[in-house]
């Protein structure tokens, strides 16, 4: 196992079951960039950790079920399922908070992390936001039935 794979596995562990944001912060370079479907482009370790804090607050006991894991040079790629119950408030991009829905979600996603000198410098997360919001019951009813 190479450095990228090790760092990605440690990130996944630090974000699921018993979140550890201090460990998450230690895995990112100070000038790291992350791109997520719901947060857009996020610059800097502190802002990236804040993004993850919002997720771990909303779903503090989430788990990750890997489907495929790869390492290509300095980059690790994971495909799998994020599963959890929404027991904490959900922060919207506007800064507003929605109360917990108490609903379970299971969403397939892909994470890509490029690692240099033991730290993530570039991180990409892909998942279907509509599926996520639908499972939380946060989408308006379909007018077509």
Tell me the HSE value of 124 on the side-chain side, using a 13 A CA sphere: 9
For 54, 58, 122, 131, 138, the CA distances from 101, given in Å and listed in that order, are 15, 10, 32, 15, 9
pLDDT score, position 127: 96
Residue positions counted in the chain? 145
As separate numbers, helices (DSSP H) first and strands (DSSP E) second, the chain gives 4, 8
DSSP states of 1-42:
--HHHHHHHHHHHHHSSS--HHHHHHHEEEEEEEEETTTEEE
pLDDT confidence band for 17 (50 / 70 / 90):
confident
Helix orientation angle between 45-58 and 3-15, rounded to the nearest 10 degrees: 40
pTM for the whole thing?
A: 0.92
Which residues, other chains included, contact 136 with Cβ-Cβ below 8 Å and sequence gap of 6+?
A: 86, 90, 101, 103, 105
The 10s digit of each residue's pLDDT in 42-69 is 999 999 999 999 999 999 999 999 999 9
Tell me the HSE value of 67 on the side-chain side, using a 13 A CA sphere: 9
């Amino acid at each position: 196992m190479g450095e990228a794979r090790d760092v990605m596995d440690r990130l996944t562990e630090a974000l699921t079951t018993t979140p550890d944001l201090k460990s998450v912060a230690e895995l990112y370079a100070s000038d790291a960039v992350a791109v997520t479907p719901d947060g857009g482009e996020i610059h800097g370790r502190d802002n990236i950790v804040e993004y993850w804090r919002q997720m771990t607050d909303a779903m503090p006991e989430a788990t990750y079920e890997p489907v495929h894991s790869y390492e290509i040079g300095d980059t690790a790629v994971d495909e799998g399922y994020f599963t959890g119950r929404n027991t904490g408030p959900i922060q919207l991009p506007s800064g507003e908070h929605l109360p917990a829905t108490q609903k379970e979600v299971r969403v397939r996603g892909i994470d890509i992390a490029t690692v240099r000198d033991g730290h993530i410098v570039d991180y990409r997360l892909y998942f279907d936001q509509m599926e996520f919001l639908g499972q939380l019951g946060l989408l308006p009813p379909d007018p077509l039935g």
